[in-house]
Every structure is written in C-alpha cells, then in structure tokens.
Amino acid sequence: MTNTPAPGLPGGPGRPGTGTRSAPAPGHERAGEWAHRLWTAVRAADEYAALDVVTHALAAGLDAETVLLDVIGAVQHKVGAEWAANRMSVADEHAATAINDRVLAVLPVGRPDTFRGKVTVACVDKEWHALPARLLAETLRLRGWQVAYLGAQVPTAHLVGRIHRTGADAVCLSAALSTRLPAAHAAITAVQAIGTPVMVGGRGFGADGRYARRLGAEAWAPEARTAADRLAAGPLPGPRPPHQVADDLPHLADQEYTMVTQSSRPLVRETFQRLERRFPALAHYDDDQRERTAEDIAHIVDFLAAALYVDDPDLFTGFLTWTADVLTARGVPAPSCRAWTCWRNNCATSPAPAVSSAPAVTRSPPLPASHGHTGDGRQRMRCRGPAPPLARTAGAGQVGGPAAGFAHAVGLVPDEQGEQRRHGQARFRRVAQDLVRFDAVGVGASLAGVGEVTVLLEVGDDPLHGTLGEPAAGGDVADADVRVVGDGRQYTRMVGDERPSGVRSRHFNHAPHSTDLLCLTPDA
C-alpha cells in the first residue's frame, strides 16, 4: 500500500500534508497544469501516459523537485481527496498510488556537487502508507543526500541492523496512522540508542507534531520540503543517551496501555458477543459484515490503546471526529457529528461553546479540569492541560466518556432523508435501517457507522483535506438543533456504570482478564 493516510488526529485548517506546497518552487504556476494532466492519466489507470506526462514536464523545464512534490505529490493528494469524497474506489486508489509510485522512477537521479550526508528514510513497522516517505526520500536525493529508502513497514530490528551496516547521519521515520505510535516509539528509541538522531513525520504524529515531541524525536516535519530544509539547516541534535521506552512516557507505569493492548483481542470478542445479544439484527449479517464489524471494534481498541500510550484523549476523539466526517462524505447523515458535538459539550465545564464556522477539529475539547472520580486515590493530571485520563473517563460511568463519545460520534441514526441519500455500500444501508428500529443513540448505532472504518483506514491520501479541513463538508457540527444526548445514560449504560469507583484499578487488581473495559453495549 502506498498512499497517504487517514486520520488519527484532529487537524487544523490549512494543515500541511506531505507534498503540500508550503514553499512553492519556481515553476510552481505551471505545475498545476501538469498535475492536472498527470491526474487524468492516473485516473485512467494509464501508466504509460502518466510516465509521458512526467517526462514531458521535465523536458518542459520544470525542475525535478517541483515535478516530484507539486505534480506527483499534488496528484497523490487529489487521490486522497477524491477517495474521501467517495468519488474513487479502494481499487482505483490502489491503482493510482501504484502508478504514482512507478512514475517516480522517471525523475532524474541527483548528482550532488557536495556530499551532504547519509539519510535513511523508512516507514515504521506495520505502516503501509509508503508514498509520503518515498516523496521525502526522492526530495532528499534530489537535494544531494545519499538516501537509503527502506519502504513500507520496516521492522525496527531491520532498521537498526541497516543503520549499523551502512551508517546514517539521520533517520526519517514516517507514520501515517496514530495507531502506529507505539511501534514508532520503539523505533525512535532504538535508533537513538545507536547514536543516530531521528526526524519523524506523517499524520500519525499529529498535525502539529505533538506526538513527535512526546516520543522524544529530535525533529518533526509536516512535509517533505520542510523536512529537507531542516536537514539542510544543520545536523540534528545528537540523540539522548540510551534510555528505556517508558522513560519518555512515565504514565505507562499505570499499565492502562499494557492492559488494553494485551487484552485487545478478548476485548473485541467480548464486545462483539455482547453486541450480538443486544442487537439481534447482527444475526442476519453475513460473514463479511460480521467481520467488518469486528474489525471496526478492533480499530476502536487500537485507537484507544494509542491514545493511552501517548496519554492524549484528543487522539481518540480525533479519530472519532474524523470517522464521523468521512462518513458524512459518504452520505451518512450528520446526526453523528451533532452527537459528537454534544459529547464534547457534555464534557465541558463551561456551557456548550458557541460553535463557530471553524472546523470541528480545531476546537480543542474543553474537557473538565478535574474529575469527580478519585476511586483509586490517584489524581492523574499528568497530561498537559485539562485533559482527563482516558480510561477513567471511560470508566467513570459518564456519558461524556470517550467510549460514549464514540458511540455517539459514529453512531448514525439515519432519518428519512438520510435513507434516501446515497450510501456507499448496500450492507451499510441495511445496517442503518436496522438501526432506525434499534433507535440506538448508543453503541449498536455506532457499529453501523464504523462499518466503514476499516475501509477508511486502509486507504485515502489525505482525506482530511477533503472533509475534515472544511467545515461544510465535515458535517454540521454547528447545527443548532443538536439533539440532546447528554441524558444518554437512559439508553446506554457505559462501562463502569455499575462501578463508578474505578474500573481501571479494579481491572488491574482483580480481573486482568476482564473484557468489559470497552464494552460499548449495555447488558441486556
């Protein structure tokens, strides 16, 4: 897979992505026209035509970096935008990305005047979105660096062995999905331990690179040009002395992340089984639909684990927002997003903020500064600002917990109008219909919504530009007729309802096998 990523994180407007033109090179004006031609060729899945476009663009005098980032990179962005807008299928997207990848080979090999140094560029383990890293590798090569490009999903052991063998002045690591952050952290720490500084990039590290800092990377860059400029500006600072992964993230000592990760499969299984009991329509799903649903639950758990890892609820809620918005682009009606707003407002210490026309993602959630729940006697306010610890929020029996937020965010309750809208897939419509009867503000509904999540996570270059970045397309979070779900407890008992005194500590102390930490369904 070679495409840019999906979500992971709320982003601001004008958020730069890999290959965006933050610093247009000469010839940029003409690049748009070539990008259009390349897009036409890529859209027609015509590899030869695409190769011709790039060859001709170079012959017409466009410099290689402009062709790389403002023609090929721009097309890859468009692929993502088109996909997010549901105008391109997964297969089209794969094909387009494969052609773009092939086209990159046409670019001239840079013959640097001076030896700038060696850089290794790789995607972290399990990260399939390789094109952003490839664009960076080619950019650096054009600028005279000796680049070792290792491609998608590089196991950390491979990466380290490679650096031992060939040496590197810096390592650039790419992660498109925030679920890769634990793997990314392992890689960053390992590379630093062999004395090599690390620069990271990609959506996975947050729109502002916040996770890059948290995971201790020496540098972060939002896109290829910035990354190349940073490397050109001087060597990265030497890495810190060898240290343990947990040294960067002392909150991991509370075992929340460990617990959720270790029990993720049972968690998914249990949630799924309860869902089956609570939501009879599931029995009529075919195997594929059931599997998708289970995968969606697995993704929720993955994002929850990643959020726990970096101790940032925004990561989890950002995922939910993104999901809701991309679903909106697929004709899934907006209630999901409205409910989402509600959840955020429920969490707020202040009354619901007046929602401006700014994209939902730019409004940082006004989460409570302190939490009523002190069941385990530890008041953990370790993450910056007022964000409460995730699991506690989830466990506190509040509808304002992320899990409930998830339920509302992606739980869509299609209305008459929604029924008539275009649905991406038949199975999805059927689920949605069932949900009308189910009247689920809670979880069952959410699962219908996330039926898409799996697919969403696989593909899509930069869907954020297509949807999340634009309030109009991102769902009307500002909608005045927000439905009140603050009282959602009447529908949905959340995790920990029975035990507001602290699910987390209970699980850890007494029931490590327990699976209802993230149980989204109430007991029937």
The answer to whether 410 and 320 have CB atoms below 8 angstroms apart is yes
- Segment near other proteins (CB under 8 A), from 77-85, 95-103, 245-253, 498-506? 95-103
Using rule CB under 8 A, residue 295 touches other proteins: yes
Minimum gap (Å) between residue 298 Cβ and other proteins:
4
Using rule CB under 8 A, residue 243 touches other proteins: no
Q: Which string of x and - marks every residue 450-479 that binds other proteins (by CB under 8 A)? A: --------x---------------------
Tell me the C-alpha to C-alpha distance, in Å, between residue 204 and each of 178, 351, 463, 507: 4, 32, 13, 29
Minimum gap (Å) between residue 375 Cβ and other proteins:
31
Of 1 and 25, which has the nearer Cβ to other proteins? 1
Using rule CB under 8 A, residue 100 touches other proteins: no
The answer to whether 310 and 249 have CB atoms below 8 angstroms apart is yes
Q: What number of other Cβ atoms are within 10 A of residue 357's Cβ? A: 8
Two tokens, residue 336: 């999901």
Of 45 and 245, which has the nearer Cβ to other proteins? 45
The answer to whether 172 and 227 have CB atoms below 8 angstroms apart is yes
Tell me the C-alpha to C-alpha distance, in Å, between residue 342 and each of 12, 394, 406, 408: 20, 16, 11, 9
- Segment near other proteins (CB under 8 A), from 225-233, 290-298, 377-385, 408-416? 290-298
Of 49 and 473, which has the nearer Cβ to other proteins? 49
Would you give the DSSP letter of residue 241?
Answer: P
Q: What number of other Cβ atoms are within 10 A of residue 111's Cβ? A: 6
- Segment near other proteins (CB under 8 A), from 132-140, 246-254, 286-294, 463-471? 286-294
Of 13 and 238, which has the nearer Cβ to other proteins? 238
Using rule CB under 8 A, residue 42 touches other proteins: no
Of 101 and 208, which has the nearer Cβ to other proteins? 101
- Give DSSP secondary structure letters for 268-280: HHHHHHHHHHH-G
Two tokens, residue 149: 């490009």
Using rule CB under 8 A, residue 195 touches other proteins: yes
Using rule CB under 8 A, residue 76 touches other proteins: no
Count of residues interacting with other proteins (CB under 8 A)? 49
- Segment near other proteins (CB under 8 A), from 162-170, 202-210, 332-340, 357-365? 162-170
Using rule CB under 8 A, residue 297 touches other proteins: yes
Of 180 and 493, which has the nearer Cβ to other proteins? 180
Using rule CB under 8 A, residue 63 touches other proteins: no
Minimum gap (Å) between residue 46 Cβ and other proteins:
4
Of 94 and 378, which has the nearer Cβ to other proteins? 94
CA–chain centroid gap for 346, Å, is: 24
d(CA 70, CA 32) in angstroms, rounded, equals 7
Task: Return phi, psi of residue 175, to 5°.
Answer: -140, 120
Minimum gap (Å) between residue 295 Cβ and other proteins:
5
Q: What number of other Cβ atoms are within 10 A of residue 439's Cβ? A: 11
Minimum gap (Å) between residue 48 Cβ and other proteins:
4
Using rule CB under 8 A, residue 102 touches other proteins: yes
Q: Which residues contact 20 (CB under 8 A, 6 or more apart)?
A: 73, 77, 222, 223
For the chain, how far is it from start to end, CA to CA, in angstroms? 41
Q: Which string of x and - marks every residue 134-153 that binds other proteins (by CB under 8 A)? A: -------------------x
- Segment near other proteins (CB under 8 A), from 20-28, 88-96, 351-359, 508-516? 88-96
Minimum gap (Å) between residue 95 Cβ and other proteins:
5
Identify the CA nearest to 317 among candidates 249, 255, 226, 410: 410
d(CA 339, CA 477) in angstroms, rounded, equals 9
Residue 331's region, left for phi above 0, alpha for psi from -120 to 50, else beta, is left
Using rule CB under 8 A, residue 483 touches other proteins: no
Identify the CA nearest to 374 among candidates 501, 256, 503, 496: 501
Using rule CB under 8 A, residue 272 touches other proteins: yes
Using rule CB under 8 A, residue 87 touches other proteins: no
> Inter-axis angle of helices 313-329 and 335-347, to 10 degrees?
160
Q: Which residues contact 150 (CB under 8 A, 6 or more apart)?
A: 120, 121, 122, 123, 158, 159, 162
Pick the binder of other proteins from 22, 40, 86, 89 (CB under 8 A). 89
- Segment near other proteins (CB under 8 A), from 5-13, 135-143, 190-198, 252-260? 190-198
d(CA 418, CA 333) in angstroms, rounded, equals 5
d(CA 494, CA 175) in angstroms, rounded, equals 32
d(CA 395, CA 501) in angstroms, rounded, equals 8
Using rule CB under 8 A, residue 51 touches other proteins: yes
- Report the interface residues with other proteins, using CB under 8 A: 1-2, 44-49, 51, 89-91, 94-95, 97-99, 101-102, 126, 128, 153, 155, 157-158, 161, 163-167, 193-196, 241-242, 265-266, 268-269, 272, 288, 291, 294-295, 297-298, 458
